[in-house]
Amino acid sequence: MKITRLEAWEVRMPLKEPYTISYETISETSNVFMRVETDYGITGYGCAAPDLPLTNETAETVLSAFRSVIEPGLKGKDPLRMTWHLTRLKKFLSEQPSALAMVDMALYDILGKVAGLPVYMLLGGYRKHIKTSFTIGIMPIDDAVEKAIECVKRGFKSLKIKGGVNVEEDIERVVRVRETLGNRIELRFDANQGYTVENAIEFVDAIRARNVDLELLEQPTVKEKPGWLGKVTRNVTVPVMADESIFNLRDVFKLARRDLVDMVNIKLMKCGGISEALLIDSVASAANFEVMVGCMDESALSIAAGLHFALSRENVAYADLDGHLDLIGDPTDGTVILKDGVLYPQNKPGFGFLLD
């Protein structure tokens, strides 16, 4: 089998509702899609969701990498030699993880279509579906409560509340949402590096004093100070999760060696795709870390790749795969199925997507 043609293009997608996190407000996203055609008539699709503050990429840098590295590196080659391709390309794309994830995704899509199996079955097929949380950005407390009520009406049973700008408002926001929804809904909190160690401890102590159960506390402190995560972990009663602190295999090894967190959030766009995510997950499993599979503002095709990875591994206990739900004009809409807050794959070969 040979790759005969590759194509990449940018799609800009506004969000139905802009949202705010501790360091930015997002109203639009750009994804780069890639099509890989073969002489067997099988076509694979990949997607990059570059994020300048997080991955240090833009759609322009991804397209430049496609033209200069990816297309000449893959054209005429056998797509089934995935490890060979990804190892070679990683040398040039080590600073462009979403571009590498796009390649990884397309090659897995081809492999699944050649085998006639969904990717999650090729990877191990541990489960067939997984619950996802829905993210509520930083907003006035009354608005957050209304948004939480709306999400529950849509069938979501797990909500992630953003914060990290004002600890007192964060405490009140979480408490009000819990009081409104009761204990039947899981709540997660993500400070996106906005807290000091003292802020994080204050936040957890305050909500526990008001009998609010929280499933996890995500990335409370800055990634440049990994020791701060450890201090929070040792001084709070809520599991602490690393997100921005983990990009690659070496990062999770450092966290595990010093026992700095309880959980890690693996995002394909941060680490470079499923192949690297599997390695990170193995170290996390050895360290007895629970794993969440997360996302950025990504198309349904990209979310599908994260979903298939999540379905394949036993220690992936959580999913936060909602980045596609508010996108307008997603050309891959429908690649995953959402029912009452639970995500299902298409159960078709590869990721189940074909572009007309």
Tell whether the model's pLDDT for residue 356 goes beyond 70: no
Respond yes or no: is residue 297 known to be catalytic. no
* pTM, full prediction: 0.96
How would CATH label the architecture of 121-345?
Alpha-Beta Barrel (3.20)
Annotated catalytic residue within 113, 231, 267, 270: 267
Annotated catalytic residue within 57, 218, 244, 276: 218
Cβ pair 348, 118 in contact under 8 A: yes
Tell whether the model's pLDDT for residue 113 goes beyond 90: yes
Sheet with 186-190, edge to edge strand ranges: 134-136, 158-162, 186-190, 216-218, 240-242, 263-266, 290-293, 316-319
Cβ pair 122, 110 in contact under 8 A: no
- Which of 255, 330, 332 lies closest to 16 in space, CA to CA? 330
User: pLDDT tens across 212-242, in order?
Assistant: 999 999 999 999 999 999 999 999 999 999 9
Specify burial of residue 256 (Cβ count, 10 A radius: 0-12, 13-18, 19+): middle
Both structure tokens of 151: 């999400």
Residue-level pLDDT at 24: 84
Annotated catalytic residue within 57, 104, 186, 190: 190
Annotated catalytic residue within 109, 243, 297, 330: 243
Strand partners, 25: 20
Report the alpha-carbon distance of residue 294 to residue 303 in Å, rounded. Answer: 9
Q: Nearest 5°: CA angle at 136, between 131 and 140? A: 155
Respond yes or no: is residue 243 known to be catalytic. yes
Domain limits, the chain = 3-116, 121-345
Q: Residues with Cβ < 8 Å from 219, sequence gap 6 or more?
A: 190, 191, 192, 193, 229, 241, 242, 243, 244, 245, 265
Q: CA torsion, points 110, 115, 119, 125, in degrees to nearest 10?
A: -170
243-268 average pLDDT score = 97
- Which of 296, 293, 297, 350 lies closest to 316 in space, CA to CA? 293
**Side-chain-side CA neighbours of residue 100 (13 Å):** 29
The CB density around residue 5, as the number of other CB atoms within 10 Å, is: 12
Respond yes or no: is residue 225 known to be catalytic. no
The CB density around residue 180, as the number of other CB atoms within 10 Å, is: 14
Residue 23 banded pLDDT, cuts 50, 70, 90: confident
User: 3-116: which CATH number, 3.40.50.11540, 3.40.50.12170, 3.40.50.720, 3.30.390.10?
Assistant: 3.30.390.10
User: pLDDT tens across 51-108, in order?
Assistant: 999 999 999 999 999 999 999 999 999 999 999 999 999 999 999 999 999 999 999 9
